[in-house]
Amino acid sequence: MAPHKFCFFFFSCLFLIFPVTAQNTDTAKAFRHAEKQAEVLLKEIRQQAKTSGLVSPRTLGPAGALELVAPGDWTSGFFPGLLWYLYEYNGEDVWRKKAETFTANIEQEKWNAGTHDMGFKIYCSYGNGYRLTKNRHYKDVIIQAAGTLIKRFNPNVGAIRSWDHNKDKWDFPVIIDNMMNLELLFAATEITGDSVYYDIAVKHANTTMKNHFREDYSSYHVIGYDPGTGTVMKKNTHQGFSDASSWARGQAWGLYGYTMCYRATGDETYLHHAEKITNYILHHPNMPEDLVPYWDFNAPEIPDEERDVSAAVVIASGLYELSTYSKQGEKYRKAADKIIYALSTQYTAPGGEAKGFILLHSVGSKPFGSEVDVPLIYADYYYLEALLRKKDLQEGKVKNYPGGVHRGNQGL
């Protein structure tokens, strides 16, 4: 493989320090709050984990009780990743040790070939751990997890299979969320020098770009393929309002995913695609003033629909990175700042409440009545990632971004 295929795109711009404005989030204050909430959450976990055998927090149930999940749940890697972000911010060994403990709890997932969510689980946990500690065992876990994930790739389709469930609806479903799991494959190529992971990630990104997006650069949630021919059979939603609607978190996954693909490859096709997705999101007539979107841009009862904070934080984190590549960078940074300011002032749980979750008002799956207007652990994870990225930009640092194994010229 040519060297440029696994030598990732370097940051080359100096970041501007923005003046204090009415929408300037106090990052230090936000992290102090996050640390206190994490301490509350850890106590809640200890009380339940003794008898449940579950390892990671996901949300609050209808009665307000903490809901924990097993390692196989797609969200199991976010709490370990959150702990790594706290350690990255303050450098205190107490957070490193906690992160190590919760990371180890999900190691078995490196063998789980029955899921496409390997990146969410292993990359957010072991990826961050390896980036911050260079623990060689973490590197080995990343490589094994990537090897497991690529078993789900179908060369006829040119994509990695998403779900194994709902076989009555789709023979070979691919969801927009799957873009987020490609970062694990890019990392595996950088670690090993083996192009197989990179090549599969690029093929998946290209297939998704070809078939998931409409003319206005909104995306479908699920594309169903014929696994034998690669023909598109269905274009649907699973968590959005309708097949033709724009599910907010799905749009966020696309923005973040193609920004990451540009960083990993230097292919400007991905950069332009990320910009077009972003412009669709920011200029949508149903986007609220504070840029915290409704759970679906086409939900029928807007403005009386739930907001989705989890979509907002993924958008904000993606925008901070995209701002360093795009000619529209200043606009994108200001939009991200606006989101983070809104979240830190209007959508944050009071200290000691919500069982230790940081943010309120996310939506998991409105059509299924599941996790509607509740805290979600992945919202908290991407919130801390966005805060770290914002902090780096404000401090004018040319620095490896948080959120993964490879950032800029750090290398592995």
Query: What positions carry a catalytic annotation?
Result: 117, 177
Say how far apart CA 385 and CA 130 lie, in whole Å.
Answer: 16
Three-state secondary-structure class, residue 59: strand
C-alpha span between 313 and 315 (Å, rounded): 5
177 is in an annotated binding site: yes
Cβ-contact 79, 55 below 8 angstroms = no
Angle of CA points 118, 120, 125, to nearest 5°: 100
237 is in an annotated binding site: yes
The C-alpha atoms of residue 37 and residue 351 are separated, in whole angstroms, by 7
User: Rounded to an integer, what distance in angstroms lies between the CA atom of residue 357 and that of residue 55?
Assistant: 16
Per DSSP, helices labelled H in 359-406 are 377-394
Of 259, 169, 176, the residue nearest 211 (C-alpha): 176
- Kind of pairing, strands 362-365 and 232-236? unpaired
Consult the annotation and say whether 117 binds a ligand.
yes
56 is in an annotated binding site: no
Sign of torsion, CA 299 305 307 310? negative
Residue appearing with tokens 């009862």? 301
Which residues 6+ apart lie within 8 Å of 259 measured at CB?
270, 271, 274, 318, 321, 322, 325
Q: Which residues carry a binding-site annotation for substrate?
A: 117, 177, 237, 249, 253, 365
Q: Which residues carry a binding-site annotation?
A: 117, 177, 237, 249, 253, 365
